[in-house]
Amino acid sequence: MADTILEVRNITKCFNSKKVSVKALTDVSFDIGKGETIGIVGESGCGKTTLGRCIVRAIEATSGNVYYTTEDGRRVDFLKVSHTEMKKIRKDIQMIFQDPYSSLDPRMTVLDIISEPLKANFPKMSKAELEARVVEIAGKTGLNTSYLKRYPHAFSGGQRQRIGIARALVLHPKIIVCDEAVSALDVSIQAQVINLLKELQREMDLTYIFISHDLSVVEYISDRVGVMYLGRLVEYADTVDLYSDPKHPYTEALLSAVPVADPDVVVERLPLSGEIPNPANPPTGCYFHPRCRYCIDQCRETSPVLMDVGGGHFVACHRAHELKLKGIKYEAVALEAAGTTSRDGCPEVDHE
Amino acid sequence: MDRRTEDRVPVVQVKNLTIDIPMDEGVLTPVRGVSFSIHEGETLGLVGESGCGKSLTSKAILGINDKKCRTGGEILFSEADHVLDLLKLKYGSEEIRKIRGERASMIFQEPMVAFHPMYTIGAQINECTRLHITSDKVKSKEITLDMMKRVGIANAEKRYDQYPHEFSGGMLQRALIAMALVCRPALLIADEPTTALDVTIQAQILELMKSLQKEFDMSILFITHDLGVVANMCDRVAVMYLGKIVEEASVREIYKNPKHPYTKGLIGSVHKVGTHNQSKLFSIDGTVPLALNLPKRCGFYERCSSRIEGVCNRLEPGRTMLDDDHSVNCFLYDKENIHG
Ligand SMILES: Nc1ncnc2c1ncn2[C@@H]1O[C@H](COP(=O)(O)OP(=O)(O)OP(=O)(O)O)[C@@H](O)[C@H]1O
Ligand SMILES: Nc1ncnc2c1ncn2[C@@H]1O[C@H](COP(=O)(O)OP(=O)(O)OP(=O)(O)O)[C@@H](O)[C@H]1O
Ligand code: SF4
Ligand SMILES: [Mg+2]
Ligand SMILES: [Mg+2]
């Protein structure tokens, strides 16, 4: 497996206002390998965006660490590094936002928008070099250079998302957090942008954290997937492992709800009762217990911790070892290609 | 399940619907000759890219488009003993009001905007009941509460007196469905009814719509851009591109045997969960043009990789029937008319 580039450790984030305190993230921990794509899924309000923003330090986590292994092999806590170090490595971790419509300043030309991060990080860079870097990245992201002098309102959703991607890439980052980067786009345009992200990943050796509520897009693009529920990471595993053999009851319910684009596939739904609880007033014990069909007394009392149940498949559920849950049915060839069938006999996955 | 029956009269027939919108830069032609029909108990899916005219088409059926929209064609609605052309009815007339809300109703993507924030949910649903079913206060409230229970709103009596902001998105969509169905309409138009919801809530709402459809024997026009939802919900599918229906067939045909290059592209660009297919996604180059000063040619010409030069850029393809239940608008299947 690839070397670890990012170790997210016990990230907790509270939003405090006069009246209430919302714990948007509780003790989120996971590792990301260099060059990997990690998908993050979960229902609205479960903390996906907050997690992304904490990792890139668009907001400050209340507590926790994000250990980043730099290009030259040093392991630093991205959330606590010195000011001078931060100046050097901040550009390594960038974020692409959900809404291609509101995230671009309408008064700036495309050239200004893409070059802004360069100016901020390299104030002494010459105008010619700035432009050269922008043209290079525009080419990579499929933006015609004749567009550079125009304003963003003249562009379609797919083109705006390309501008957002170019802006995130111009500093040659190592890690990119993509927050619902294709969700607002039409399917045919989504495919263009997803293909582009994959190409760029290969070309520039990028690591992605891909946040989305679309489970089929996440399955396509991710090497590993994390499932969040009410601010906690409840399951984390290799993509096919998680989709075909989920170990957390919430993941099972989520997968059973995915609409499959094939009229011949009949999915047995496992409807979840109730709605996602209010994070200002979370349930006791396992946060999922009020909606869980497998809940036992222990679940109401103590909160399960995220544990490796074998082969790097992490789950936070008291009953993970005994439950036999339903996942998506894969054809045998697909499982084999993903190396999942051999897991039981001789583990190919490295253990730490 | 094959719902197709030639002898039954369709509940609604849209014939050559056109919508023009005068703008400063010229006349926008977002709907350019749309025809389809929906039979009793059938769900027709209307899919296509953002801006292709899905919402304008569906709103034309209910006569709720902006006043500045100029509408042409026919929208034939079957009543028990006669057929009405909804486009010929006078704006705000008794007849159109009877159709709208009573015989045909609509649910939208954003349930929040459909409700007035200052009135309770119950009062707003009950308004429909009183207007269309009974003016008897006690009976009316009974019917309203019953409907709220049917759509799965727990504690309906308590919920009746709550305001929209006290409902979650999923619950509000249920309330909106209750409001749309309380009059037992023959036709329900659902415009992206689950797009704003989480997958688990979406699955609940779709199941609910299916079971109510069976119970009330209602027809549904289901608008969405989600091909997974279409595969789940629809009997037939009409694929729209740039203001026209380019292909129409049974849901199975559309997924297994798509013919129009746009439909093929659309189906091909969706990753199917459970395949672990890692190859490059199929994608259609370019973007949809704006429906302004469109030249006479196939609307998909610019983005089409199978186009026939000299034909597709000179003429507009008409509808070709491939068999009883599969039609396509594309010169690749219309050899006769290629030469004008
Ligand atoms: N600035 C803020 N102040 C107070 N609460 C916040 C703030 N930002 C987020 N929250 C709360 O934190 C929780 C997590 O929000 P977040 O936006 O991370 O969810 P999400 O998983 O990205 O949801 P979505 O899928 O809707 O984008 C929510 O309950 C939200 O209301
Ligand atoms: N009131 C209006 N004034 C001007 N243009 C309009 C108006 N309503 C719709 N349009 C334009 O007509 C076209 C079709 O709009 P419509 O809302 O029917 O699209 P749609 O297929 O429902 O798209 P979406 O999937 O984004 O909802 C769009 O280009 C839209 O901008
Ligand atoms: S810990 Fe208990 S309540 Fe939570 S998911 Fe597992 S079985 Fe369900
Ligand atoms: Mg978010
Ligand atoms: Mg619409």
- Which range, of A254-258, B59-63, B92-96, averages the lowest pLDDT? B92-96
Per the prediction, chain B carries an average pLDDT of 90
Per-residue confidence of chain A (352 residues) as pLDDT tens digits? 579 999 999 999 999 988 888 999 999 999 999 999 999 999 988 999 999 999 999 999 999 999 999 999 999 999 999 989 888 899 999 999 877 667 788 899 999 999 999 998 888 999 999 999 999 898 888 888 888 998 887 787 778 888 999 999 999 999 999 999 888 788 888 898 899 999 999 999 999 999 998 999 999 999 999 999 999 999 999 999 999 999 999 999 999 999 988 988 888 888 887 777 888 889 999 999 999 999 999 999 999 999 999 999 999 999 999 999 999 988 777 777 777 644 443 333 333 3
pLDDT tens-digit readout, B32-44: 999 999 999 999 9
Query: What ipTM was estimated for this complex?
Result: 0.84
Q: Report the separation in Å between the CA atom of B244 and the middle of ligand 5, taken as the mean of its atom positions.
A: 15
Q: Band of the pLDDT at B3, cuts 50, 70, 90? A: very low
What type of residue sits at position A94?
Q
Residue A187 contacts B, CB cutoff 8 Å: yes
Indicate which of B198, B205, B273 best probes the interface with A, i.e. most A CBs within 10 Å of its own CB.
Answer: B273
What type of residue sits at position A252?
E
At residue A326, the pLDDT reads 93
Q: Report the separation in Å between the CA atom of A41 and the middle of ligand 3, taken as the mean of its atom positions.
A: 18
User: Of the candidates B192, B17, B18, B216, which has an alpha carbon nearest to the alpha carbon of residue B103?
Assistant: B216
pLDDT tens-digit readout, B113-134: 889 999 999 999 999 999 889 9
Distance from the A25 Cα atom to the nearest Cα atom in chain B, whole angstroms: 19
Query: In the predicted model, what is the mean pLDDT of residues B4-13?
Result: 73
Nearest to A263 among B206, B231, B276 (CB): B231
Ligand 2, atom 27, lies closest to the CA of B50
pLDDT tens-digit readout, B270-285: 988 888 778 888 888 8
Whether B231 sits inside 8 A of A259 (CB atoms) is: yes
Chain-centroid distance, C-alpha A109: 29
B47 lines ligand 2 (CB under 6 A): no
B289, with CB counted inside 10 A (0-12, 13-18, 19+), is middle
Dump the DSSP string for B132-156.
HT---HHHHHHHHHHHHHHTT-TTH
Nearest to A192 among B199, B230, B283 (CB): B283
At residue B338, the pLDDT reads 65
Ligand 2, atom 25, lies closest to the CA of B50
Indicate which of A188, A189, A240, A333 best probes the interface with B, i.e. most B CBs within 10 Å of its own CB.
Answer: A188
CB contact residues (below 8 A), chain B span 309-328, against chain A: none
Q: What is the 3-state secondary structure (H, E, C) of chain A?
A: CCCEEEEEEEEEEEEECCCCEEEEEEEEEEEEECCCEEEEECCCCCCHHHHHHHHCCCCCCCEEEEEEECCCCCEEECCCCCHHHHHHHHHHEEEECCCCCCCCCCCCCHHHHHHHHHHHHCCCCCHHHHHHHHHHHHHHCCCCHHHCCCCHHHCCHHHHHHHHHHHHHCCCCCEEEEECCCCCCCHHHHHHHHHHHHHHHHHHCCEEEEECCCHHHHHHHCCEEEEEECCEEEEEEEHHHHHHCCCCHHHHHHHHCCCCCCCCCCCCCCCCCCCCCCCCCCCCCCCCHHHCCCCCHHHHHCCCCCEECCCCCEECCCCCCCCCCCCCCCCHHHHHHCCCHHHCCCCCCCCC
The predicted model scores a pTM of 0.89
Ligand 2, atom 24, lies closest to the CA of B50
Can you tell me the distance from the alpha carbon of B179 to that of B176, in angstroms, rounded to the nearest whole number? 5
Q: Is the pLDDT of residue B217 over 50?
A: yes
CB contact residues (below 8 A), chain A span 224-253, against chain B: 239-240, 243, 253
- What lies within 8 Å, CB to CB, of B225 at 6+ separation is A186, A187, B47, B48, B49, B50, B192, B195
Can you tell me the distance from the alpha carbon of A46 to that of A58, in angstroms, rounded to the nearest whole number? 18
Residue B226 contacts A, CB cutoff 8 Å: yes
- Cα A343 to Cα A6, A327, A335, A350: the distances in Å are 25, 17, 11, 11
Per CB-CB distance under 8 Å, the chain A contacts of B274 are 219, 243, 260, 265, 328-331, 334
Percent of chain B past pLDDT 90, that is, above it, reads: 64
Which contiguous run of DSSP H or E holds residue B32? strand B26-38
Per CB-CB distance under 8 Å, the chain B contacts of A275 are 168, 170-171, 201
Phi, psi of A50 (to 5 degrees): -60, -40
Nearest to B198 among A191, A195, A213 (CB): A213
At residue A345, the pLDDT reads 34
Can you tell me the distance from the alpha carbon of B90 to that of B70, in angstroms, rounded to the nearest whole number? 14
Per CB-CB distance under 8 Å, the chain B contacts of A254 are 199-200
